[in-house]
Chain A
Amino acid sequence: MAGLKRRPGRFRTKPVRVQFRRGAVVKEGTLVDVSRRSALVKGFSRPAPGRRAPVLTFFPGESEPITRACRVVRSDKTPVPWCAFEFPVPLTLEELGALVLKSDLYPSISTDQELAEEIAHLFRGDLASFREVVEAAGFPVESLSNVSDPRAIISSFVHTIPSLRPSLQGDVARALLYAHPKSDLLRLWCHVLFEITNAEASTKSTPLSLYFDMSEFSAAGIADVLHHLSELYRSIGGDGLIINEMTLLEPSLVPEGV
């Protein structure tokens, strides 16, 4: 929960299913242990009259160490109407994936094609360039045609990325958990794509810097080496090298030490 602040006023009170993998018999008034995720629950209290508190969400598959006890007043598929918990829920990518695939919080965009088109629109580009971005980020584009729920697309996409910035991961969880408007989800999706493609670019697309000793190489000699390198690059499937930048360095410019 470190670094994640509660954001008053942004809670949604939309009911969600309450399910338990362990302690399946949960009746009103039963004191139960809850997993680490539900340790986010700070306690239960009846909301002020006329005011609805956010509901507590449990999902199957939770197996973290039990860390806290709390009172669950009602269970089954009935919303728990008066629990308070810290926000947002810090999910790992795997948890997020499970959450997305199991929850029905977010009203589906009708088809993946529609999602893709929306995203392409947000990119101010066409569908082809969207697909190119997705592909460049290592996501199997063909899988887009096999899923009908955009949350599943996001979930599987996020799962392909080994290191997504934790705060962004939190944003994704928040958006999905609290059913932000469709446009929010789409913008977030774009954000994920940009993060990933930028990260890819910064680690893989750095120019290669070559330092030539001018006492050793003439201009023609340097051009030769560059040319050989370029040919080597072509021979492994590249399209030739281009010079990005040239700088002449003079180590003698370093002032004498005091």
Chain B
Amino acid sequence: MPEGQASDNAYLRIDVMGKSPKSWAELRAKLLSSLYKLIDDISEGQGCSWFEARAAEFSRAILDYAKAKLARPGIENEKTLAEVGDLYAERERKLAETRRIHAQADAQELETELKRLTIALKMTKVMLVGDPGDEAMLFGRQIDGLLAAVDQVRGESKPQTPGQLE
């Protein structure tokens, strides 16, 4: 693994929210319901009972705890993080530019974006965990690996009985 690059089994956690907190508070649930529908469509026929069982088990609070334990230390992360941030900012800039030139119909836009997201996620596993209002989304084939690690971290945090210590 080159210096400054994340290893293959690393995960990038990105917390996103709307630019306007007020709109975000109003639309977060709507966005998630669109995503739920999308995930349902994607996972249809994929035999996702294992995921459903795991999703019920993991709350965002547990993932937050795992974040504290698994956060990779050191400045070498910065390259990866900066790269993602720059690329996202660039796409948003281009979009803003395009928007100025072509106005699009909202309904059509929604359809198109759902299709694009579907294509982007079709080959991955997608999972939503957490309670309503506190959800997190997991993308990737190795979700089970991540959850196993989170589970292990969580297990370590539990107090051990004298028998377990021996």
A228 to chain B, nearest CB (A): 4
Bound Cα distance A245, B91 (Å): 18
CB-CB under 8 A for A227 and B7, given A213-B143, A248-B12? no
CB-CB under 8 A for A220 and B87, given A209-B13, A243-B15, A248-B77? yes
Looking at A42-50, A110-118, A196-204, the stretch in contact with chain B turns out to be A196-204
B55 to chain A, nearest CB (A): 13
Which one of A204, A226, A238, A254 contacts B14 once the chains associate, using CB atoms below 8 Å? Answer: A226
Which one of B70, B134, B136, B141 contacts A251 once the chains associate, using CB atoms below 8 Å? Answer: B70
Please tell me if the beta carbons of B84 and A205 are within 8 angstroms of each other in the complex: no
Please tell me if the beta carbons of A209 and B60 are within 8 angstroms of each other in the complex: yes
Contact with B along A216-258 (1 / 0, CB 8 A): 1101111111111111111111111111111111111110010
Residues on the A chain within 8 Å of B95, using CB: 227, 231
CB-CB under 8 A for A233 and B27, given A211-B138, A248-B72? yes
A91 to chain B, nearest CB (A): 29
Please tell me if the beta carbons of A210 and B69 are within 8 angstroms of each other in the complex: no
Residues on the B chain within 8 Å of A247, using CB: 12-13, 67, 71-72
Bound Cα distance A235, B113 (Å): 8
Known pairs A210-B137, A222-B14; list 4 more (Cβ under 8 Å): A216-B142, A241-B18, A248-B13, A254-B70
Q: Is B56 among interface residues, defined by CB-CB distance under 8 A?
A: no
Please tell me if the beta carbons of B25 and A211 are within 8 angstroms of each other in the complex: no
Please tell me if the beta carbons of B19 and A208 are within 8 angstroms of each other in the complex: no
CB-CB under 8 A for A227 and B88, given A215-B9, A249-B10? yes
Please tell me if the beta carbons of B120 and A225 are within 8 angstroms of each other in the complex: yes
Which one of A204, A214, A246 contacts B29 once the chains associate, using CB atoms below 8 Å? Answer: A204
CB-CB under 8 A for A209 and B70, given A219-B84, A239-B20? no
Please tell me if the beta carbons of A236 and B140 are within 8 angstroms of each other in the complex: no
Q: Is B8 among interface residues, defined by CB-CB distance under 8 A?
A: yes
Residues on the A chain within 8 Å of B84, using CB: 219, 222-223, 226, 246
Which one of B70, B134, B153 contacts A206 once the chains associate, using CB atoms below 8 Å? Answer: B134
Which one of B14, B27, B85, B113 contacts A210 once the chains associate, using CB atoms below 8 Å? Answer: B14
Please tell me if the beta carbons of A249 and B19 are within 8 angstroms of each other in the complex: no
Bound Cα distance A109, B32 (Å): 45
CB-CB under 8 A for A208 and B17, given A213-B124, A233-B27, A250-B72? yes
Bound Cα distance A250, B19 (Å): 29
